Amino acid sequence: MSHETSGTGWGNAVTVSIEDGVAWVTMNRPDKRNAINPAIVREMTAVFDALEADDAAEVIVITGAGDAFSAGQDLKEYFRETESWPPHERDKLFAQNAAWQWRRTMFYRKPTIAAVNGWCFGGAFQILIGCDLAIASDDATFGLSEINWGIIPAGIVTKSVSMVMSQRDAMYYIMTGETFDGKQAAEMKLVNKSVPADQLRAEASKLAQTLRAKNPNVLRACKTAYHHVRQMGWEQSLDYLMAKSDQTTFRDKSRGAEKGMSQFIDEKKYRPGLGAYDKDAG
């Protein structure tokens, strides 16, 4: 099944197309290299709200139109032009931006994948790192360019890169502003994988379908738990994870763990070590 979808609250700055359970969310200002302006912030917020409630969208893939993933925050429309806004309006925009770019992608109820198709600078790292998984095209170009125009990687960029890049890589690219390509991003584990440009969509689709076959309630708990325990000590982590596990099983109306166990032990239908149980079986 495939359809374009549009909803209240978004226009042309973001497009959404749902195909086989995967929502392709595309930042759509190719002429401006998908630089994130207030329109993208507003529309992404509306898109995330809509997709959360749309059962046809089981996995979200974020990508960019044209030759850019995103050139980061729009220097003109997001930074310069908002300087004259009333402070509370500017604060609201910045908070809304943080909400969709990293807090929401990270803790979204559905899995999120970044498909980095081209230029990826500055603020775009927040989206990239906020997403659960990321695939890049070999020829994508990444850069923490803030130093090149005289600011620090703010928003939450520095925190984000410190969570996924090694100290040497993070400091090198923060301080030099040099670019690197998709293959290097994969070597640094900033993305899971890098593939030739013409395979990016297929590769992201394949990954999305893998996630789609898993229990969505458990996937949701896995990502939340991962982010929280990274900030906790061992004892707190143990207690939290045991409680989270009980909560997940308790709240899972599909009784997935029971099914999974039974399909293995009683029915001998699959091997959990080698793949997922059939969540759609009765």
Contact residue for ligand COA among 145, 205, 248, 263 (CB under 6 A)? 145
SS3 content of the chain, % helix, strand, coil (to 5): 50, 15, 30
Binding letters toward ligand COA, positions 31-50, x by CB under 6 A: -xx-x---------------
| Segment interacting with ligand COA (CB under 6 A) among 143-151, 184-192, 221-229, 235-243 | 143-151
Distance from the Cα of residue 109 to its chain's centroid: 12
Q: Which residues contact 9 (CB under 8 A, 6 or more apart)?
A: 42, 43, 45, 46, 47, 49, 50
Binding letters toward ligand COA, positions 75-114, x by CB under 6 A: xx--------------------------------------
What is the torsional sign of CA 73, 74, 75, 77?
A: negative
Comparing CB distances to ligand COA, the nearer of 178 and 246 is 178
Binding letters toward ligand COA, positions 45-74, x by CB under 6 A: --------------------------xxxx
Does the protein bind ligand COA through residue 147 (CB under 6 A)?
no
Binding letters toward ligand COA, positions 217-256, x by CB under 6 A: ----------------------------------------
Tokens of 27: 């930042």
Q: State which of positions 110-139 bind ligand COA (CB under 6 A).
A: 119, 121-123
Comparing CB distances to ligand COA, the nearer of 154 and 202 is 154
CA atoms of 161 and 282, how far apart (whole Å): 43
Comparing CB distances to ligand COA, the nearer of 22 and 39 is 39
Least separation in angstroms between CB 119 and ligand COA: 4
Q: Tokens 């061992």 identify what position? A: 234
Q: Tokens 């190719």 identify what position? A: 30
Comparing CB distances to ligand COA, the nearer of 16 and 124 is 124
Least separation in angstroms between CB 73 and ligand COA: 4
By DSSP bridging, strand 22-27 and strand 14-19 are antiparallel
The residue number with the shortest CB distance to ligand COA is 122
| Nearest to 277, CA basis, from 226, 218, 224 | 218
b/e code 145-179 from CB counts within 10 Å (16+ = b): bbbeeeeebebbbbebbeebbeeebbeebbeeeeb
CA atoms of 142 and 6, how far apart (whole Å): 30
How many residues sit close enough to ligand COA to count as binding (CB under 6 A)? 16
CA atoms of 74 and 52, how far apart (whole Å): 26
| Binding footprint of ligand COA on the chain (CB under 6 A) | 32-33, 35, 71-76, 119, 121-123, 145-146, 149
